[in-house]
Structures are given as structure tokens and as C-alpha cells.
Structure 1
Amino acid sequence: MPDNFDAYDDEGNRYSVHVRRSFISTGDLSDPNGRIEGLPSYLLTGGGALNRIDDETFEIVATGKRLTVRA
């Protein structure tokens, strides 16, 4: 999934979604710079948080409104 994409509500309104990626340090004495990618978080460009329901469906936390990614 790209770092930014559009999703739509049932009325056809478009929302711009940003994917925030985090990394977890796995460093030890043999590889002090090791890291792996953690779970992504999803935010509306304006700052509202989203829950991922599945690959194509998201829910706005504050309102419960469902958004769908169109192919």
C-alpha cells in the first residue's frame, strides 16, 4: 500500500489517507543498527485517526464512518 491514498465514504466524498510507518529496533551486539518495520497507522490528512478493517475498508475513529478504497 502506498504512503498516501484516497478512500471514499458511501456518499462519494473523498478522504486523503496517510500511512505512518514505524520501525522497531532489533539491535544487539552483533548488529547494533538492526530494525524491522512495525505495524502501520492510518491518519486522515487533516489529522483524524483511522482503524483498518481490511485491505479496502477503514473506519474514522471519531465518527465511526466507513471509508472504502476504490481500485
Structure 2
Amino acid sequence: MTLDQFLKQVGRGSAKKLAQAVGVPTSNVSMWRRGKQRPPADKCKLIEQATLGAVTRKELRPDIFE
């Protein structure tokens, strides 16, 4: 599942909650979900944990995690 799909599925306020869980501004999550920027490797693991594995680090950064 993509980050955008996950956030749409979870609903309103989910981007803000994810940003808080990962320790970044909401604007970062917005850029990641739209593909304007890729999350750093260390944040990918936190995103995977915060989404309970719905969004994996491999989906976020296949160039790093095989």
C-alpha cells in the first residue's frame, strides 16, 4: 500500500498523526505522499512501525530496502 492510499484510508487528520509519530512537520508527510520527495531511510522504518506494517519501508524506498 502506498503512503497516500494509507492516509486516505485512515481518514482526516491521519497525516498530522503520522507526522507526530515520525517526528517531522506535516509538510514533509505531504511531500512524501505526493511523491515530491522521498522519506529518508531512518524515517521509513518509523513510518512502517506507525502504520503497523501497512506501508513498508521497501514500498517507500525500494532503492534502499530490497
The verdict on a shared fold, with TM-score over 0.5 as the criterion, is no
**TM class, shorter-chain normalised?**
under 0.3
TM-score normalised by the chain length of structure 1? 0.23
Q: Please state which structure has a larger fraction of its residues in helix.
A: 2
TM-score normalised by the chain length of structure 2? 0.24
Larger radius of gyration: 1
Q: Please state which structure has a larger fraction of its residues in strand.
A: 1
